[in-house]
């Protein structure tokens, strides 16, 4: 037996060493971050290929469009206009209002009126930009809303290629922590349904979801910035996944009388002339493509994800742990090495194409499954 086995082993020793060598090479390159950009590109492509879920009826955006700026003939909008806008929204009894506009000082006439609206709207949340740990990039909130405890962080975390793939839940700096605008609005809305955070949980637990904070080496990330409490953003799709009405339509009363009732209303700019836009996985493979998402839409995406996770409708993106990732790489290295045993070139090419197709389709189905598309694969043994 050994006389037969040893010559065969010597003859094919290179092929036997190929799978572990390739696997170690891939794992090594990946640990150095050299494959991160390629994995981001594949991630973005899968995100674009996913069938988008329906529009989220729980959120409405009041967008300040270019036509609104022409109608008002000025920017920023005055305190009087903002007060009238907020009052008309408030009259329809929304569950929460998110004001994604900086209002750290008065703007022309109407400040007393705006102050009165602020003080009589407890479910109105304003924004402040906290910036980095040194306070660089900070923008102060409305002093009225700050005194009322009705402000939240509107900061975003961008990846190294400038794209927005993570949604912030809490901005943190040591012991200092502040809820994000999306989380604050979701908490107010969920409280109307009797859902509150579980105070006994180590991580944020809301309803049927536990939000595990993003770690620096999750998924395709290597030594990423994980200083604040964030989650991978499970987008509902590109632009236009939420009902949107213009500021002008609200002021003129041309919208339906229940457009905002029991909904989260987000107010923000939706025009290219005011630069509040972000590159996302839907922007293409490079950051030079023109398709970007407005900041107010990005906040709506994060809010929608929190609501869907808490209610069990659609969870966030999940990751394998390191051991499963290493096993996955090892299995495909072994599968690829089988091709080298085939003596027929045509058969080898067909096998290679088949394996690559199986890898691509399988990875896509797993990605859909990890993003909450339950029809992709049965519950076990996939995550």
Summarised one tens digit per residue, pLDDT across range 105-119 is 889 889 999 999 999
| Angstrom distance (rounded) from CA 160 to CA 29 | 18
CB neighbours (10 Å) of residue 327?
A: 12
Mean pLDDT of the chain: 87
Residue 343 pLDDT greater than 80, yes or no = no
- At 316 the pLDDT is 81
Region 229-253: what's the mean pLDDT?
93
More confident residue, 105 or 91: 91
Tokens standing for 149? Answer: 């405890």
- The structure's pTM equals 0.89
Region 31-43: what's the mean pLDDT?
90
CA separation, residue 338 to residues 41, 63, 327 (Å)? 28, 56, 17
Among 247, 264, 244, residue whose Cα is nearest residue 83: 247
The torsion of the CA quartet 353, 40, 278, 58, rounded to 10 degrees, works out to 80
Q: Where does the pLDDT of residue 380 fall: very low under 50, low under 70, confident under 90, or very high at 90 and above?
A: very low
- At 5 the pLDDT is 47
Half-sphere exposure of 52 (CA within 13 A, CB side): 14
Q: Where does the pLDDT of residue 16 fall: very low under 50, low under 70, confident under 90, or very high at 90 and above?
A: low
Region 144-156: what's the mean pLDDT?
96
- At 267 the pLDDT is 98
Burial, 86: exposed, middle or buried (Cβ in 10 Å; 0-12, 13-18, 19+)? buried
Residue 341 pLDDT greater than 50, yes or no = yes
- At 4 the pLDDT is 54
Q: What is the pLDDT of residues 207-220, one digit of tens each?
A: 999 999 999 988 88
Region 41-57: what's the mean pLDDT?
88
């Amino acid at each position: 037996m050994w006389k037969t086995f040893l010559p065969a082993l010597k003859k094919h020793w290179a092929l036997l060493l190929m799978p572990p060598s390739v696997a170690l090479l891939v794992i090594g390159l990946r640990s150095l971050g050299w494959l991160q950009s390629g994995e981001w590109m594949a991630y973005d492509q899968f995100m674009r290929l996913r069938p988008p879920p329906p529009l989220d009826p729980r959120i409405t955006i009041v967008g300040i469009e270019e036509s609104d700026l022409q109608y008002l003939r000025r920017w920023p909008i005055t305190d009087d206009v903002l007060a009238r806008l907020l009052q008309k929204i408030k009259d329809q009894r929304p569950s929460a209002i998110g004001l994604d506009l900086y209002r750290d000082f008065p703007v022309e006439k109407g400040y007393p009126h705006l102050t009165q609206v602020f003080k009589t709207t407890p479910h109105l949340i304003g924004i402040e930009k906290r910036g980095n740990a040194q306070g660089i990039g900070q923008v102060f909130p409305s002093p009225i809303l700050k005194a009322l405890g009705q402000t939240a962080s509107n900061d975003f975390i961008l990846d190294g290629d400038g794209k927005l793939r993570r949604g912030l839940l809490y901005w943190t700096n040591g012991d200092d922590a502040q809820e994000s605008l999306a989380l604050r609005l979701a908490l107010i809305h969920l409280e109307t349904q009797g859902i509150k955070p579980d105070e006994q949980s180590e991580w944020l637990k809301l309803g049927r979801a536990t939000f595990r904070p993003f770690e620096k080496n999750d998924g395709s990330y290597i030594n990423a910035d994980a200083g604040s409490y964030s989650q991978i953003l499970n987008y509902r799709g590109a632009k236009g996944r939420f009902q949107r009405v213009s500021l002008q339509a609200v002021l003129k009363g041309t919208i339906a009388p229940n457009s905002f009732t029991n909904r989260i209303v987000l107010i923000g700019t939706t025009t290219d002339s005011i630069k509040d836009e972000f590159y996302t996985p839907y922007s293409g493979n490079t950051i030079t493509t023109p398709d970007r998402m407005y900041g107010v839409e990005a906040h709506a995406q994060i809010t929608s994800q929190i609501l869907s996770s808490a209610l069990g409708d659609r969870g966030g993106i999940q990751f394998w742990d390191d051991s499963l990732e290493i096993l996955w790489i090892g299995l495909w290295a072994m599968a690829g090495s089988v091709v080298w045993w085939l003596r027929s070139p045509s058969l080898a090419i067909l096998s290679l194409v088949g394996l690559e197709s199986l890898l691509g389709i399988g990875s896509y189905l797993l990605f859909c499954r990890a993003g909450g598309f339950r029809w992709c694969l049965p519950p076990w043994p996939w995550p």
